Amino acid sequence: DAKTTQPPSMDCAEGRAANLPCNHSTISGNEYVYWYRQIHSQGPQYIIHGLKNNETNEMASLIITEDRKSSTLILPHATLRDTAVYYCIVRPSNTGNQFYFGTGTSLTVIP
């Protein structure tokens, strides 16, 4: 029941910013946007999440549009180790249940 749309794949040159888009046009007022990534054969890794304000941490920045119908995850200086599948997930804040992972965006960082 993924409520998000992401491009299936993207490339990015090493050292450049990687901008990963996500559409979530049916997002509700109490739903957060979460980003995870999964490096091949490993478990998903939490990156960042936000409600309506832009967020930044040591891994990435999250830009959410004013109408909250889309967002962009920014990896400011992509490295080869950032090659992974990136998942954008919307989820209410009042549930402790699962995260619905869709098919994500496969990001390849090119040397």
Partner 1 sequence: DVKVTQSSRYLVKRTGEKVFLECVQDMDHENMFWYRQDPGLGLRLIYFSYDVKMKEKGDIPEGYSVSREKKERFSLILESASTNQTSMYLCASSSGVNIQYFGAGTRLSVL
Contact residues toward partner 1 (CB under 8 A) are: 2, 34, 41-46, 49, 93-103
The nearer residue to partner 1, 67 or 93, going by C-beta atoms, is 93
The nearer residue to partner 1, 1 or 67, going by C-beta atoms, is 1
Here the tokens at position 78 are: 């992509």
Q: How far is the CB of 32 from partner 1 (least distance, A)?
A: 9
Q: How far is the CB of 11 from partner 1 (least distance, A)?
A: 21
Is the distance from CB of 102 to CB of 23 less than 8 angstroms? no
